[in-house]
Chains A and B, each alone.
Chain A
Amino acid sequence: MPVTETVGQATIDGLAYLGDLTILTGRSLHAIAIAPFQGQRLRVQRAIHQAMAVGVGAVPILSLISFFIGTILALQSAYELRRFGAMGFVASAVALSMTRELGPLMTAIVVIGRSGSAFAAEIGTMKVNEEIDALETMALDPVHFLVAPKFLAMALMLPCLTTWSDFMGVIGGSVFGVGAAGFTFVSYIHATLSSLVIHDIVTGLIKSVMFGMVITAVGCQEGLSTGLGAEQVGRSTTSAVVKSIFLVVAVDLIFTLLFYFTASR
Chain B
Amino acid sequence: MDAKEMERNEFEGPPDDGVAISVRNLRVRYGEREVLHGISFDVKTGETMVILGGSGSGKSTLLRALMGLEKPAGGEIWIGGKNMCCVSVRDMAELRKKLGVSFQGGALFGSMTVGENVGLPLREHTPLDDSTIEVMVRLKLEEVGLSGYENFIPAQLSGGMKKRAAVARALAMDPEILFFDEPSAGLDPIIAAGIDDLILKLKKAFKMTIVVVTHELASAFLIADRMILVDKGNIIAIGTVEELRSSQHPRVRQFLDRVPEPEVSEDEGFLDRLTENLHL
A contact set with B: CB distance below 8 Å: 125-126, 129-131, 133-134, 136-140
CA distance A138 to B124 in the complex (A): 9
B124, A131: Cβ atoms under 8 Å?
Answer: no
Query: Given A130-B104, A133-B103, A134-B103 in contact, is the A139-B109 Cβ separation under 8 Å?
Result: no
A-B contacts besides A136-B69, A138-B96, 11 pairs, CB < 8 Å: A129-B110, A130-B105, A131-B107, A131-B108, A133-B107, A134-B101, A134-B109, A137-B68, A138-B101, A138-B124, A140-B124
The reply on B37 being an interface residue by CB < 8 A is: no
Distance of A125 Cα from B110 Cα, bound (Å): 10
On whether the beta carbons of B124 and A130 are closer than 8 Å, the reply is no
The 7 closest A-B pairs by CB, nearest first: A139-B96, A134-B107, A130-B107, A139-B93, A137-B101, A130-B103, A138-B121
B-side interface residues, number (CB < 8 Å) = 22
Q: Smallest CB-CB separation from B94: which chain A residue? A: A139
Least Cβ distance of B274 to chain A in Å?
A: 28
B125, CB-defined interface residue at 8 Å: yes
Q: Does B67 contact A (CB under 8 A)?
A: yes
- Asked if B185 CB lies within 8 Å of chain A CBs, one says no
> Given the complex of chains A and B, what is the CA–CA distance between A126 and B124 in angstroms?
19
Contact A137 B69 (CB under 8 A): yes
B103 CB contacts on chain A under 8 angstroms: 130, 133-134
Chain B interface (Cβ < 8 Å from any Cβ of A) = 64, 67-69, 92-94, 96-97, 99, 101, 103-105, 107-110, 120-121, 124-125
**B69–A139 contact, CB under 8 A?**
no
What are 6 A-B contacts with C-beta separation under 8 Å? A130-B103, A130-B105, A133-B64, A133-B69, A139-B93, A139-B96
Contact partner of B99 (CB less than 8 A), chosen from A125, A133, A137, is: A137
Q: Which residues of the partner chain B approach A134 to less than 8 Å between Cβ atoms?
A: 101, 103, 107, 109
A137 touches B67 (CB 8 A): yes
Residues on the A chain within 8 Å of B101, using CB: 134, 137-138
Closest to A138 in B: B121
A131 to B108 CA separation, bound complex (whole angstroms): 7
The residues of A that contact B92 with a CB separation of less than 8 Å are 139
Q: CA separation between A259 and B67, bound complex, in Å?
A: 50
| Chain B residues with CB below 8 A from A131, complex form | 107-110
Q: How far in angstroms is the closest Cβ of chain A from B134?
A: 17
Q: Whose C-beta in chain A lies nearest to the C-beta of B109? A: A131
> A138 to chain B: which residues have CB within 8 Å?
96, 101, 120-121, 124
Q: How far is the CB of A146 from chain B (nearest CB, A)?
A: 10
Q: Which residues of chain A come closer than 8 Å to B96, judged between CB atoms? A: 136-139
Chain B residues with Cβ below 8 Å from A139 are: 92-94, 96-97, 121, 124-125
Q: How far is the CB of B249 from chain A (nearest CB, A)?
A: 33
Q: Which residue of A lies closest to B111 (CB)?
A: A122
Contacts of B107 in A (CB 8 A): 129-131, 133-134
The residue in chain A whose Cβ has the minimal distance to the Cβ of B166 is A134
Closest to A122 in B: B111
Closest to B124 in A: A140
Q: Which single residue of chain A is at the shortest CB-CB distance from B100?
A: A137
Chain A residue numbers with a CB within 8 Å of B64 are 133
**B68: chain A residues within 8 A (beta carbon):** 136-137
Q: How far is the CB of B279 from chain A (nearest CB, A)?
A: 24
The residue in chain A whose Cβ has the minimal distance to the Cβ of B117 is: A134
CB-CB under 8 A from A140, the residues of chain B are 120, 124
For the complex, give the distance between the alpha carbons of A85 and B68 in Å. Answer: 73
Q: In the docked arrangement, what's the CA distance between A134 and B93, Å? A: 13
Interfacial chain A residues near B108, Cβ < 8 Å: 131
**Cα distance, A125 to B105, chains bound together (Å):** 13
On whether the beta carbons of B67 and A129 are closer than 8 Å, the reply is: no
Q: How far is the CB of A17 from chain B (nearest CB, A)?
A: 19
**Which residue of A is nearest B101, CB measured?**
A137
- B94 / chain A contacts, CB cutoff of 8 Å: 139
A-side contacts of B105, CB under 8 Å = 129-130
B77 to chain A, nearest CB (A): 14
Q: Say how far B170's CB is from chain A's closest CB, in angstroms.
A: 9
Report Cα–Cα, A130/B110, bound state, in Å.
12
Least Cβ–Cβ distance between B209 and chain A, in angstroms: 16
In the complex, the chain A residue whose C-beta lies closest to that of B172 is A138
Provide the residues of chain A in CB contact with B104, threshold 8 Å: 130
Least CB distance, A39 to chain B, in whole angstroms: 11
A122 to chain B, nearest CB (A): 8
| Chain A residues in 8 Å Cβ range of B99 | 137
